[in-house]
Amino acid sequence: GATTHSSAAENVKTREKEASIPFTRPSKADSTLTIVVVGASGDLARNKIFPAFFALFYDDQLPEDFTIFGYGRSPMTDEELRITISKTLNCRVDKRENCHDKISQFLKRCFYHSGQYSSEEHFLELDNRIREKESAQGGKISNRLYYLAVPPTQFVDVVRCANRRASSDNGWTRVIVEKPFGRDSESSKKLTRDLKQYLNEDQIFRIDHHLGEELFENLLVLRFSNLVFEPLWSRDYIRNVQIIFSKDFGVEGRGRYFDNYGIIRDVMQNHLLQLLALFAMETPVTLDAEDIRNEKVKVLRSIKPVSIEDVVVGQYKGYTEGNMSVPGYTDDPTVSNNSLTPTFAAAILSINNSRWDGVPFMMVAGKALHSKRVEIRVQFRHVPGNLFNRNFGNNLNNATNELVIQVQPDEAVYLKINNKVPGLGMRLDRSDLNLLFKKRYPREAPEAYERLLLDAMRGERRLFIRSDELDAAWAVFTPLLKELEQKKTAPELYPYASEGPVGVHYLGAKHHIRCV
């Protein structure tokens, strides 16, 4: 029950404090780890979760005594699970020669248990099988990590059954939950309340896999370890900030989930707001998870709820060119014919604090656009006076500095600066100071899920979302979502692979933002 959990959680806290940081592999006698992937027959489990655990195993990051159980309703034997997941494992780390050995060693630790998500009896059976492995491993402390790769309708049942019948009685039990965390403030709060009937906040790891991307971590380093940026990070020097998330494909037959949520819930309320929070928050007291999350909550709570006047919503439409025909959003068989779900949105957010007062933060997110990119663009104010203005080429009047923090297609940080063109006379040009990560650091970076799973095992919560943070994030978008739905606002149509709705340029112009 919950009491066992809180004392287990206390134990964990003490042990985690004692454990040396950085993480070292616990010795054999110390503890065992059982990972339960709930929904093991699904896409997410097969394509992301098992491969990420394997990559960690390959990189010697898993504890010595670990076991992985897949759980789901589909009937499957251990061997069938192994065959299925073996197809998605690969040794990307550094292509060492023992790849096959490593895969077979890993698969030997993988098992499957078939059961219903709401059956305590089935979870008890799972518990028995887990205990068998734990005692064979001779571990004194047995820790359990659940990964919920099932639709959110199943979360509470699984947590109830796992808590009552299959949680650790001497170590920690943690649960990783995938988004969506509700669809508005009320449903999100309800989900949190329901989960907290069975779990403490520190057992819940809300995952937003974009937070495991390299640049999320690097944003903190960039801001707080370089003297040159932080003094400029305010309304005094920054004119506007654009946070852009653009995909060059549509739902392509996978619209069932998306049609129910739309781009604002799918991308803006979580990933983009997280990027904004890390970008705009004050300096945290330390790098501890709670200190960082406290600052994120503060800045999220300072954001005014988005107003419908400051939003453009769009939906992609198909077109035919010669004998090629591209389907629009509502042509997709997984989407309803008269769907008003936005596949694109642009919104202006304002942060009501002394650092950011008056600086528009423009979020742009869309599917089926002409390019694939995820980036933050920071446009600085112009240099006062006009000393050099006449030395620019025609279209470079008032060229201001711009800092671009790019997550996709390639991770990069570049600063647009003004520069003299070599030669006689004084002619100015804009160039980039450019840090392209794959050039500077050619070693392949780990997948976002690897970092997050490792953090969850270590009990590092920095990249997971706390419940008050989630509440603050929903508060920014819930009134807008309700209004769009009540008014049945029709999205502006834009052609597949275009730049998106024209309305975005008007929205930008209203806030003096030059959109790129």
Candidate ranges 147-155, 212-220, 267-275, 441-449; the one touching ligand NDP (CB under 6 A): 147-155
162 in Cβ contact with 125 (< 8 Å): no
> Are 182 and 477 contacting, i.e. CB atoms less than 8 angstroms apart?
no
Question: What is the pairing mode between strands 402-408 and 311-317?
Answer: unpaired
Pick the piece of the chain touching ligand NDP (CB under 6 A) from 104-112, 143-151, 214-222, 371-379.
143-151
Residue 322: CB minimum distance to ligand NDP, A:
34
Region from 69-77, 92-100, 166-174, 477-485 binding ligand NDP, contact rule CB under 6 A = 69-77
In the residue annotation, 271 being an active-site residue is answered as: yes
Q: Does 269 bind ligand NDP (CB under 6 A)?
A: no
CB 158 within 8 A of CB 194: no
Q: Which stretch binds ligand NDP (CB under 6 A): 36-44, 286-294, 400-408, 491-499?
A: 36-44
DSSP string, 36-103: EEETTTSHHIIIIIHHHHHHHHHTT-S-SSEEEEEEESS---HHHHHHHHHTT---TTT--TTHHHHH
State yes or no: residue 379 binds ligand NDP (CB under 6 A). no
Which one among 149, 273, 359, 413 touches ligand NDP, defined by CB under 6 A?
Answer: 149
3-class secondary-structure state, position 110: strand
CA distances from 252 to 12, 242, 348, 428 (A): 44, 27, 29, 46
Residue 280: alpha-carbon gap to chain centroid: 17
Candidate residues 34, 41, 203, 343; the one interacting with ligand NDP per rule CB under 6 A: 41
- Our CB check for ligand NDP shows the closer of 117 and 356 to be 117
Q: Which of 19, 59, 61, 73 binds ligand NDP (CB under 6 A)?
A: 73
For ligand NDP, the closer CB: 9 or 481 = 481
CB of 456 to ligand NDP, least distance (A): 15
178 belongs to the binding site for ligand NDP (CB under 6 A): yes
Q: How far apart are CA 94 and CA 273, in angstroms?
A: 34
- Piece of 68-76, 292-300, 316-324, 375-383 that binds ligand NDP (CB under 6 A): 68-76
Phi, psi of 38 (to 5 degrees): -90, 125
For residue 165, report the phi and psi dihedrals to the nearest 5 degrees. Answer: -120, -20
Distances (CA, A) of 365 to 189, 245, 303: 25, 5, 18
**Residue with Cβ nearer ligand NDP (179 or 293):** 179
CA–CA separation, 348 vs 299, rounded Å? 16
Q: Which residues in the 74-133 window bind ligand NDP by CB under 6 A?
A: 74
Structure tokens at 360: 């528009």
Verify binding: residue 274, ligand NDP, rule CB under 6 A.
no
Given candidates 237, 249, 257, 441, which one binds ligand NDP under the rule CB under 6 A?
257
SS3 311: strand
- Between 50 and 106, name the residue whose CB sits nearer to ligand NDP: 50
Nearer to ligand NDP, 272 or 412 (CB): 272
**Residue 43 interacts with ligand NDP (CB under 6 A)?**
yes
Evaluate whether 68 touches 109 at the Cβ level (below 8 Å).
yes
What is the C-alpha separation between 260 and 183, in angstroms, rounded? Answer: 9
With binding defined as CB under 6 A, does residue 152 bind ligand NDP? yes
Regarding 150 and contact with ligand NDP (CB under 6 A), the answer is yes
| Member of 9, 44, 103, 359 binding ligand NDP (CB under 6 A) | 44
What is each CA distance from 66 to 114, 209, 262, in whole angstroms?
20, 23, 38
Assess 165 for contact with ligand NDP (CB under 6 A).
Answer: no
Which segment (66-74, 424-432, 481-489, 508-516) binds ligand NDP by CB under 6 A? 66-74
In whole angstroms, give the CA distance from residue 430 to residue 414.
Answer: 12
Three-state secondary-structure class, residue 303:
strand
Question: Which is the catalytic residue, given 100, 209, 271, 511?
Answer: 271
The count of residues interacting with ligand NDP (CB under 6 A) is 18
Q: Which two tokens stand for residue 223?
A: 């801001």
| Contact flag: residue 448 with ligand NDP (CB under 6 A) | no
Q: Which amino acid is at 287?
A: L
Tell me the C-alpha distance between 244 and 87, whole Å: 34
CA 456 – CA 193 distance, rounded (Å): 21
What is the C-alpha to C-alpha distance for residues 220 and 222, in angstroms, rounded to an integer? 5
- Closest CB to ligand NDP among 183 and 466? 183
Element (H, E) at 449: helix 448-458
Quote the least distance from Cβ 267 to ligand NDP, whole Å.
11
The yes or no reply on residue 162 touching ligand NDP (CB under 6 A) is: no
Bridge-partner residues for 380, per DSSP? Answer: 238
Among 26, 42, 139, 250, binds ligand NDP (CB under 6 A): 42
179 is a site residue for ligand NDP (CB under 6 A) = yes
Residue keyed to tokens 């887990």:
130
Return the residue of 151, 358, 393, 409 that touches ligand NDP, per CB under 6 A. Answer: 151
Q: Which is nearer to ligand NDP, 40 or 362 (CB)?
A: 40
Residue nearest to ligand NDP (CB): 42
- Closest distance to ligand NDP from the beta carbon of 200 (Å): 22
- Give the shortest CB-65-to-ligand NDP separation in angstroms: 27
Active site residues: 271
Site residues for ligand NDP per CB under 6 A: 39, 41-45, 48, 72-74, 149-152, 154, 178-179, 257
